[in-house]
């Protein structure tokens, strides 16, 4: 089920190629987030709905969109060039719909990484900062920081929202990556959360509490950089 009030849109990525999108804009929006999905689930996944609804309550509009492979029902992610072109087209659409609002971009896992790659190649027009909901630093079980090399080319503020049990971003590797980016990068750690921000019962918290912490931090950072 889509977030209540979300407006369906169509984004043209290239001649004859389009993807679906959903715009959720609260009446008192103060900023907008171009929100890309992860590799395994599209823009209508329940977690995407929840995050969009919760951000709307915090005055942040969201433009969610599909990558072409997900639009076609494929399980194989698009090549980086295709994904990056889609990010760029989504940002242009957000500027058209919400151009008077401060724009931010990013997404969950794969979507966030493709957004940062696009920004590293050429600045995304009007985007003030990137927000990653679980940056996928490396594949599970294969620790490395190779995927972070392009981040040195990103010159706008970056927010990393990461769980301490994230199997795709071991803390011992992620922390020096973020520190190496200097003052423009902020790391918000969510204790006992995994890559999907689920927590174990023994943590003494539930997923709802974790999501509140996560998105309160998101909204505060966006307000600071708006």
DSSP annotation string for 47-103: HHHHHHHHHHHTTEEEEEE--HHHHTT-SSPPPHHHHHHHHHHHHHHHHHHHTTSPE
Q: Beta 103-108 vs 17-24: how paired, if at all?
A: unpaired
User: What order do you get walking across the sheet with 185-190 strand by strand?
Assistant: 7-14, 17-24, 60-65, 31-36, 103-108, 127-133, 158-163, 185-190
| Mean pLDDT score across all residues of the chain | 94
CATH number at residue 25: 3.40.50.1820
Q: Indicate whether 195 pLDDT > 60.
A: yes
Q: Which domain holds residue 88?
A: 7-224
Q: Which tens digit of pLDDT belongs to each residue from 110-130?
A: 999 999 999 999 999 999 999
Q: Indicate whether 217 pLDDT > 60.
A: yes
Structure-block tokens of residue 132: 């990653």
The conformational region for residue 67 under phi > 0 = left, psi -120 to 50 = alpha, else beta, is: beta
- Residue 2 in any domain: the answer is no
- The percent of residues above 90 in pLDDT, for the chain, comes to 91
Can you give the pLDDT at residue 15? 72
Residue with token string 């708006």 = 226
Structure-block tokens of residue 139: 């594949």
- Residue 202 in any domain: the answer is yes
pTM (2 d.p.): 0.95
- Residue 125 in any domain: the answer is yes
The distance between the two most distant Cα atoms of the chain, rounded to a whole number of Å, is 52
Can you give the pLDDT at residue 1? 43
Give the pLDDT band of residue 131 (cuts 50, 70, 90): very high
- Residue 1 in any domain: the answer is no
How far lies 41's CA from each of 47, 135, 172, in Å?
Answer: 9, 16, 28
Structure-block tokens of residue 225: 């950089």
What string of H, E and C letters represents the secondary structure of 138-194?
Answer: CCCCCCCCHHHHHHHHCCCCEEEEEECCCCCCCHHHHHHHHHHCHHHEEEEEECCEC
- Residue 129 in any domain: the answer is yes
Q: Indicate whether 3 pLDDT > 70.
A: no
Chain center to CA of 188: 14
Q: Which tens digit of pLDDT belongs to each residue from 21-40?
A: 999 999 999 999 999 999 99
Q: Which tens digit of pLDDT belongs to each residue from 44-101?
A: 999 999 999 999 999 999 999 999 999 999 999 999 999 999 999 999 999 999 989 9
Q: Indicate whether 155 pLDDT > 70.
A: yes
Closest CA to 160 of 98, 87, 106: 106
Q: Indicate whether 222 pLDDT > 90.
A: yes
- Residue 83 in any domain: the answer is yes
Residue 171 makes CB contacts below 8 A (sequence gap 6+) with: 162, 164, 189
- Residue 32 in any domain: the answer is yes
Can you give the pLDDT at residue 75? 92
- Residue 50 in any domain: the answer is yes
Q: What's the total number of domains in the chain?
A: 1
């Amino acid at each position: 089920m889509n977030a209540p009030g979300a407006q369906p849109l169509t984004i043209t990525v290239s001649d004859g190629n389009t993807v679906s999108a959903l715009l959720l804009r609260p009446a008192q929006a103060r900023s907008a987030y171009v929100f890309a999905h992860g590799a395994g689930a599209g823009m209508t996944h329940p977690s995407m709905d929840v995050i969009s609804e919760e951000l709307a309550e915090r005055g942040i509009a969201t433009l969610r969109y599909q990558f072409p492979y997900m639009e076609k029902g494929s399980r194989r992610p698009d090549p980086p060039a295709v994904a990056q072109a889609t990010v760029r087209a989504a940002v242009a659409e957000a500027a058209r719909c919400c151009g008077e609002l401060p724009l931010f971009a990013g997404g969950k896992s794969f979507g966030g990484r493709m957004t940062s790659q696009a920004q590293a190649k050429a600045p995304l027009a009007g985007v003030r900062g990137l927000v990653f909901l679980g940056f996928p630093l490396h594949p599970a079980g294969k620790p490395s920081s190779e995927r972070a090399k392009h981040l040195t080319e990103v010159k706008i503020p970056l927010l990393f929202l990461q769980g301490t049990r994230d199997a795709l971003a071991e803390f011992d590797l992620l922390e020096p990556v973020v520190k190496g980016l200097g003052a423009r990068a902020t790391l918000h750690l969510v204790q006992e959360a995994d890559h999907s921000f689920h927590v174990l019962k023994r943590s003494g918290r539930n997923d709802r509490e974790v999501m509140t912490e996560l998105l309160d931090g998101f909204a505060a950072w966006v307000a600071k950089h708006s």
